[in-house]
Amino acid sequence: MFRPKIPTMPQPTGLVTPPALVESTTVTPAAQAPQMALAATSAPFRPAVQLTPGTALALVGGGTAVVLIVGAVLVSMLLAVAVTATSTAVCAVVIRSLLTRR
pLDDT, position 94: 95
Q: Give yes or no for residue 76 having a pLDDT over 60.
A: yes
d(CA 94, CA 92): 5
50-70 per-position pLDDT tens digit: 788 899 999 999 999 999 999
What's the half-sphere exposure (Cβ side, CA atoms, 13 Å) at 95? 6
Mean pLDDT (the chain, rounded): 81
Written as one letter, the residue type at 55 is T
